[in-house]
Amino acid sequence: MPRSIIGWFVVCWSAFVLASVVVGVLLLSLYRQTTTEQVRRASAAVAHGCDAIAGRYQFLVAGTNSPPSDLRAPEVVRGLTGAVQIALRDLPGVEGGIWQTEQGSLAYAFPTYEGTGEKTDLPSAEEPQIRDAAEASALDGVPVDRRRETQSQVLLLHACPLTGPIPHLAAWTMARVITSGGRSYVEAMAGLGVLLLVVLGSAAWLGRLLLGWTRRVRRLEAALAAGTGELPRLDATGQRDLDRIIDAINRAGGRLADARREAEALARQVAESQRLATLGRVVAGVAHEIRNPIAAMRLKAENAIAAGHDIPRKDQALRTIIDQIGRLEGLLRNLLSSVQRAKPILTPVEDVIDFLNERVDLFREQAAAHGLAFKVEGRSIDAAFDSARIGQAIDNLVLNAIQNTPPGGSITISAERSADRLVLSVADMGQGVPEDVRAQLFEPFVTARPDGTGLGLAVVREIAEAHGGTARAIHRPDGTTFIIELPWRPS
């Protein structure tokens, strides 16, 4: 079973050629049959003609016992010719005559001759054959059939002995069956010619069609393959069936492009509104964190002015103001480091556990004040990372854990290496992160604690991402585990 339309065409065309060959063969055999039949009919006619001449001759010589003295006497010739004439009158295409061995042709007639005038002379081309047949027949006293086939005709010659007063006498008849140039020949050849023309024409036409089709399909294929992402706009090929498909593809492509444009516009809108929402939260956070110190400074300053000459009070106001300026500066520094991505400076760390212990030591006093204990877990690992910044991230997480864990709880800090990742984690035993904050937990100014600035985790994420790693939180039923995952590099 062919799978392509071209395969189907070839199969159909092959069937058509087969049918044509069969028809051709039938035509030829029909023609041959026709020729054979004609020859059979003609030989029957010549035999019949010869018999008829013999009959006429018997009638002519009835009662005569001696041969005429001069066989070429006009009355003799006239009589014989008349007998032949009458005998062959009703046999179209048959000519004949009477032959005497010693005297040669005594009579000849071709009553159904189709040419102009009357044909009275023996066809000289066939004379040797006529002589041969007639003399053989007269000699043997039996009918003789001679048949000569040439390219364009079959010559049928029949001779039969004439018994009577004239010795060595025979009648002959002859007919020609035209084999080429005849009506059935022309018909057969015309049929074959038309068949051949149709076969060749259809082959050429089909070939051209298939070639055009293949070329168009290949062009379509190339145009479709060339399109990057979107469906390309296809040009009409001029072939109606293909053009219908192309129209459909073009329409589908248009719809696809519209849908894509719409989706992109929507995605842009969503991204924009998310950006605005994040910005809104950040700005609200900044406003809150900046207005508190400003409010304190303003009140202290106005109080100091209102106090008149109370110098210690003015000094105290100035100190408060300086403290608040420091607070604002710290806030801005944190804010900047939460959004500024600096390339980490990798330093070798021989044992990550020792490194973690050093960080934790800074908070032992503070933790003890809250009634908390630290646990540092993990096997000794060597690694390379920006120890100052990772230290800052760990500090933020530990501070976060201290503030979130109720007294009596413990904080677990651990390090482990899995294949090419270094995983640092800080687990607290707090109340967990409220659902509404989880999604934006690592954004600046997102905090579940009213006293937090919401910058600690943003800084942690920024440091982790600067190292090519990630920061995330796992929300356990009994607390939260913050994880910093870094690509592991050997020290």
Partner 1 sequence: MATILIVDDDAAMREGLAETLGDLGHRAIEAPDGDVALAIAARERLDAVLLDLRIPRMDGLEILRQLRSRPDRAPPVAILTAYASAANTIEAMRLGAFDHLTKPIGRDDLISLVSRMLRSRTAALPPTAPEGNDEVLVGSSDAMRAVQKMIGLVTDSDATVLIHR
Residue 175's H or E segment, with its range, is: strand 169-178
Residue of 307, 318, 328, 376 that binds partner 1 (CB under 8 A):
307
Residue from 12, 15, 194, 295 touching partner 1 (CB under 8 A): that is 295
- Does residue 287 interact with partner 1 by CB under 8 A? yes
Q: Please check whether residue 67 is in contact with residue 166, taking contact to mean a CB–CB distance below 8 angstroms.
A: yes
Task: Tell me: does residue 322 bind partner 1 (CB under 8 A).
Answer: no
Distance between CA atoms of residues 175 and 170, nearest Å: 17
Indicate the residue among 288 and 421 with the shorter CB distance to partner 1.
288
Asked if 334 is part of the footprint of partner 1 (rule: CB under 8 A), the reply reads no
Which class for 474: exposed (0-12), middle (13-18), buried (19 or more C-beta within 10 A)? exposed
Return the residue of 78, 298, 341, 475 that touches partner 1, per CB under 8 A: 298
Amino acid in the structure at residue 141: G
Q: Is 434 in the site for partner 1 (CB under 8 A)?
A: no
Structure tokens at 180: 């080429």
Interaction residues for partner 1, span 446-475 (CB under 8 A): 449-451
Q: CA–CA distance from 438 to each of 60, 219, 418, 432 (Å)?
A: 141, 55, 26, 10
375 binds partner 1 (CB under 8 A): no
466 phi, psi to nearest 5 deg? -65, -30
Report the C-alpha gap between 2 and 204 in whole angstroms: 21
H-type alpha helices, 362-427: 364-369, 387-404
Closer residue to partner 1 in complex, CB, 302/465: 302
**Binding to partner 1 in span 10-49, by CB under 8 A:** none
Helix axes 5-61, 74-87, angle to 10 degrees: 140
Q: Does 320 bind partner 1 (CB under 8 A)?
A: yes
Q: Nearer Cβ to partner 1, position 298 or 379?
A: 298
| Contacting range for partner 1; rule: CB under 8 A; set: 172-180, 319-327, 344-352, 386-394 | 319-327
Nearer to partner 1, 298 or 333 (CB): 298
User: How far from the centroid of its chain's Cα atoms is residue 253's Cα?
Assistant: 18
Least Cβ distance, residue 304 to partner 1 (angstroms): 9
Which alpha helices (DSSP H) does 307-339 contain, by range? 311-339
> Angle CA(58)–CA(64)–CA(66) in degrees, nearest 5?
120
Instruction: Return the residue of 93, 293, 409, 456 that touches partner 1, per CB under 8 A.
Output: 293
325 touching partner 1, by CB under 8 A = no
Q: Which is nearer to partner 1, 239 or 292 (CB)?
A: 292
Cα gap 189→348, rounded to integer Å: 101
CA 246 to the chain's CA centroid? 14
Q: Which of 302, 315, 354, 358 binds partner 1 (CB under 8 A)?
A: 302
Of 82-90, 289-297, 351-359, 454-462, the window that binds partner 1 (rule: CB under 8 A) is 289-297
Q: Which is nearer to partner 1, 272 or 302 (CB)?
A: 302
Minimum distance, C-beta of residue 386 to partner 1, in the bound complex (Å): 33
Q: Does residue 173 bind partner 1 (CB under 8 A)?
A: no
3-class SS at 28?
helix
Question: For the chain, how are helix, strand and coil distributed in percent, rounded to 5?
Answer: 55, 15, 25
Which range binds partner 1 by CB under 8 A, 76-84, 210-218, 244-252, 298-306?
298-306
Regarding 333 and contact with partner 1 (CB under 8 A), the answer is no
* CA–CA gap between residue 357 and residue 364 (Å, rounded): 10
279 binds partner 1 (CB under 8 A): no
For residue 470, give every residue at least 6 positions away whose Cβ sits within 8 Å of its Cβ, in sequence order, or none.
461, 464, 484, 485
Q: Does 292 bind partner 1 (CB under 8 A)?
A: yes
Minimum separation from the CB atom of position 253 to partner 1 (A): 42
Which residue lies nearer to partner 1 by CB, 292 or 470? 292
The Cα–Cα gap between 289 and 391 comes to 25
**Residue 247 CB, nearest approach to partner 1 (Å):** 49
364 binds partner 1 (CB under 8 A): no
Tell me which residues touch partner 1 (CB under 8 A). 284, 287-300, 302-303, 306-307, 320, 323-324, 449-451
